[in-house]
């Protein structure tokens, strides 16, 4: 039974506790992942709003710019600058990229001279500038081919489940993989193909790994990020992302060995650069203005001038001329920062970071925050190189605190579960074993009762037979036989009363309480049992320490208590056959002690012997018959009278059973 219980309850409970403890250890990582997913969605949305705002800035600049051929460039561009705060320094180029405005002579102001000094070579199409290109767009053909291959394989697996593929003729030429995959490519426009490649790259870590590997092989340089998101650094990347990070490092190593064709994007300062920055989604390339202008009719060109990032707007006029301006940094940053509607909440801090990792909008209560260590961050796009939308935890230790609280709750629940299972299991096992032992004791009880009832009946039958067959017996013999028959009858009556008392509800028993002398009751018991006990070799004596020992009791119930104790002494006194009844009293109580020279009772069993059906030890009680109810009923009756029955070792060997009852009022008249 115990083994089954351990296998069915204890072992599963321990396994459950181990799993719960392991989940508690991973609680912080799980909570960080959940928070990262939530904030990443908000950061992605913010990055999209910033990118859309760049488009609106371009639309606003285009709407106010119209330079007719042959007009006064200076006057029209000056009016355009006055009309919008976005224009810092306007310019005009000829169809062949000659600088028509601002003038390079004395008419140019200090700001215009600075502008020509920084941008003149680029605007005249003599030098290239660094631009960003989405790596998914640059490798869109490869990405779409990979995505198409995956879809084709999935379709073939799906078809093979429903029906077996038809066998090819033996002489049939194999289909070239390249043709098969190119045929699977969906027909799409250029913008659609661009978006499909971006989506496929974002959704497939395996495609990301292959694209970064190909970029490394071709010597492409990734854009340098100015932040290290904490969620990625602490939680760790997947194997594909880790590979991409290794490829990013390899790309940088190769870029360091061979100088690029154009000036690369400046790296962050060494002291602030993260140890392991996540890979950028943008590749650094260099293009001339003519190459940029061939891709559309207008746009925004970000240019790094030293550590400063400036933005040039351009638009092609109908006759091929190009008009544009250097955008005012303050106005432009204000427009982009305006997409932030809520920078602070009790959970997170949301902002936009510029190319130097500084926030465009500084939320309240952010003193001392490391802006280069956001919780999650997202690059905004090609038009805003090294700009990021970033989210920070309002309380950096909030996840760890919540994880500790959750872990504490889990630990408490595990301990409660373990204690409940262990305690409940112990109680169940104890109850099962107790019931099993009780059932065994009851079976023994039936056997013992049968034997106990037969013994006095056999004695009575024997003496009756002797009286019948021997008619001329001496009177002394007749008196002896009759006394023994009366004693055995009383013994039989006592056994029957014990069984009835045990089976009867305690509330159903009614006592006839009155003032009696315990000394008289003890004397009556000794005289009634003397002949039978002396015939069995016992020495029975009565010791009275007081002439009168009054108690309130039912005389017959008190006699039953003493008879049960005498019977117990008789059974367990096989060697030293001496029994003494001693009556004593004090101001509060009366004690009746039954002393024997029997086998004695070990200290650990002196309380257990009063349990129903309990036998001290097989080695001690072997060969001794009994119901196992005598001491139980004796204590029950004594406690019903306001007293108790206890046992103690007797000096010189044996046991003292002590009946202690409250003393009756000395002035109470006897009934």
The 3-state secondary structure of 297-349 reads CEEEEEEEECCEEEEEEEEECCCCCEEEEEECHHHHHHHHHCCCCCCECCCEE
pLDDT band (50, 70, 90) for residue 391: very high
Domain ranges of the chain: 1-125+297-370, 128-153+180-287, 510-662
**pLDDT score of 498:** 67
pLDDT band (50, 70, 90) for residue 510: confident
Query: Residues 519-539, buried b or exposed e (16+ Cβ, 10 A)?
Result: bebbeebbebbbbbbeeeebe
Show Cβ contacts of residue 227 under 8 Å, excluding neighbours closer than 6 positions.
274, 277, 353, 357, 371, 372, 373, 374, 377, 388, 390
* Cα distance between residue 25 and residue 32, in whole Å: 13
- Tens digits of per-residue pLDDT, 79-97? 999 999 999 999 999 999 9
Alpha helices (H) in 124-222, listed in sequence order: 135-138, 140-162, 177-184, 190-203, 205-218
Q: How many CB atoms lie within 10 A of CB 564?
A: 27
**pLDDT score of 147:** 77
**pLDDT score of 619:** 44
pTM for the whole thing?
Answer: 0.57
| In the chain, % of residues over pLDDT 70 | 78
- Does CATH place domain 510-662 in 3.30.450.20? no
* Lookup: tokens for 12: 């599963």
- Tens digits of per-residue pLDDT, 352-364? 999 999 999 988 7
Query: What is the pLDDT averaged over residues 180-201?
Result: 67
- Which of the two residues, 503 and 332, has the higher pLDDT score? 332
For 363-422, the DSSP string reads -SS-TT--TTS-SEEEEEETTEEEEEEEEEESSTTHHHHHHHHHHHHHHHHHHHHHHHHH
N- to C-terminal Cα separation, the chain: 58
* Cα distance between residue 636 and residue 411, in whole Å: 47
Q: Are 67 and 73 in contact (CB under 8 A)?
A: yes
Which burial class, exposed, middle or buried, applies to 12 when counting CB atoms under 10 A from its CB (0-12, 13-18, 19+)? exposed
Task: Give the mean pLDDT of the chain.
Answer: 80
**pLDDT score of 166:** 47
Query: Residues 479-509, buried b or exposed e (16+ Cβ, 10 A)?
Result: eebebbbebbebbbebbebbbebbeeeeeee
- Tens digits of per-residue pLDDT, 319-337? 999 999 999 999 999 999 9
Tell me: pLDDT of 265 over 50: no
Tell me: pLDDT of 26 over 50: yes
Nearest Cα to 572, choosing from 598, 537, 539? 598
Tell me: pLDDT of 487 over 70: yes
pLDDT band (50, 70, 90) for residue 1: low
Query: What is the pLDDT averaged over residues 95-107?
Result: 89
* Lookup: tokens for 317: 């006029």
Poorest-pLDDT segment among 26-30, 342-346, 581-585: 26-30
CA atoms within 13 A of residue 339's CA, in its CB half-sphere: 26
Q: Are 424 and 416 in contact (CB under 8 A)?
A: no
> 């969605």: which residue's tokens?
41
């Amino acid at each position: 039974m115990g083994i089954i219980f351990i296998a069915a309850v204890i072992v599963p409970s321990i396994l459950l506790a181990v799993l719960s403890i392991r989940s508690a250890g991973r609680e912080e990582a799980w909570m960080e992942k959940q928070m990262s997913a939530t904030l990443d969605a908000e950061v992605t949305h913010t990055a999209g709003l910033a990118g859309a705002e760049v488009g609106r800035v371009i639309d606003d600049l285009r709407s106010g710019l119209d330079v007719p051929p042959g007009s006064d460039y200076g006057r029209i561009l000056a009016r355009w600058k006055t009309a919008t705060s976005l224009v810092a320094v306007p310019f005009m180029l000829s169809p062949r990229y000659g600088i028509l405005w601002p003038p390079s002579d004395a008419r140019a102001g200090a700001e215009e001279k600075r502008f020509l000094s920084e941008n003149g070579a680029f605007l005249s199409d003599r030098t290239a500038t660094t631009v960003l290109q989405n790596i998914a767009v640059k490798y869109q053909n490869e990405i779409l081919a990979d995505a198409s291959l995956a879809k084709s394989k999935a379709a073939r697996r799906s078809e093979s489940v429903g029906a077996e593929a038809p066998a090819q003729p033996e002489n049939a030429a194999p289909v070239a993989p390249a043709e098969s995959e190119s045929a699977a490519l969906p027909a799409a426009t250029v913008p659609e193909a661009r978006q499909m490649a971006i989506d496929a790259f974002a959704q497939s870590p395996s495609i990301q790994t292959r694209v970064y590997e190909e970029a490394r092989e071709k010597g492409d340089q990734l854009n340098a990020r100015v932040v290290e998101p904490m969620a990625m650094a602490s939680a760790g990347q997947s194997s594909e992302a880790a590979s991409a990070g290794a490829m990013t490092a390899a790309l940088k190593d190769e870029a360091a060995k061979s100088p690029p064709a154009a000036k690369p994007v400046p790296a962050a300062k060494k002291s602030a650069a993260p140890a392991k920055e996540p890979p950028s989604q943008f590749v650094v390339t260099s293009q001339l203005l003519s190459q940029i202008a061939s891709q559309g009719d207008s746009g925004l060109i970000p240019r790094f001038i030293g550590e400063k990032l400036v933005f040039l707007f351009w638009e092609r006029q109908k006759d091929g001329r190009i008009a544009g301006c250097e955008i005012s940094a303050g106005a432009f940053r204000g427009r982009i920062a305006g997409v932030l509607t809520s920078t602070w909440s009790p959970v997170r801090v949301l902002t936009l970071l510029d190319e130097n990792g500084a926030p465009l909008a500084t939320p309240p209560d952010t003193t001392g925050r490391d802006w280069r260590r956001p919780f999650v961050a997202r690059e905004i796009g090609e038009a805003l190189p090294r700009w990021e939308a970033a989210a920070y935890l309002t309380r950096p230790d909030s996840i760890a605190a919540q994880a500790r609280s959750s872990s504490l709750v889990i630990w408490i629940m595990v301990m409660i579960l373990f204690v409940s299972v262990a305690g409940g299991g112990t109680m169940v096992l104890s109850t099962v074993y107790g019931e099993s032992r009780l059932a065994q004791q009851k079976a023994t009880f039936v056997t013992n009762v049968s034997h106990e009832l037969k013994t006095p009946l056999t004695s009575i039958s024997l003496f009756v037979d002797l009286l019948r067959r021997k008619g001329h017996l001496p009177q002394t013999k007749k008196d002896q036989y009759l006394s023994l028959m009366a004693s055995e009858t009383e013994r039989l009556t006592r056994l029957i009363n014990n069984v009835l008392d045990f089976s009867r509800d305690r509330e159903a028993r009614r006592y006839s309480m009155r003032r009696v002398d315990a000394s008289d009751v003890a004397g009556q018991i000794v005289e009634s049992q003397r002949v039978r006990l002396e015939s069995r070799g016992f020495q029975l004596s009565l010791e009275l320490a007081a002439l009168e020992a009054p108690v309130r009791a039912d005389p017959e119930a008190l006699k039953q208590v003493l008879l049960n104790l005498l019977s117990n002494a008789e059974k367990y006194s096989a060697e030293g056959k001496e029994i003494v009844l001693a009556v004593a009293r004090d101001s509060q109580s009366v004690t009746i002690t039954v002393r024997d020279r029997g086998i004695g009772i070990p200290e650990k069993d002196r309380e257990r012997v009063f349990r129903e059906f309990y036998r001290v030890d097989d080695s001690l009680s072997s060969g001794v018959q009994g119901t196992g109810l005598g001491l139980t009923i004796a204590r029950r009756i004594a406690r019903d009278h306001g007293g108790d029955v206890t046992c103690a070792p007797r000096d010189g060997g044996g046991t003292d059973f002590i009946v202690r009852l409250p003393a009756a009022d000395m002035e109470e008249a006897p009934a």
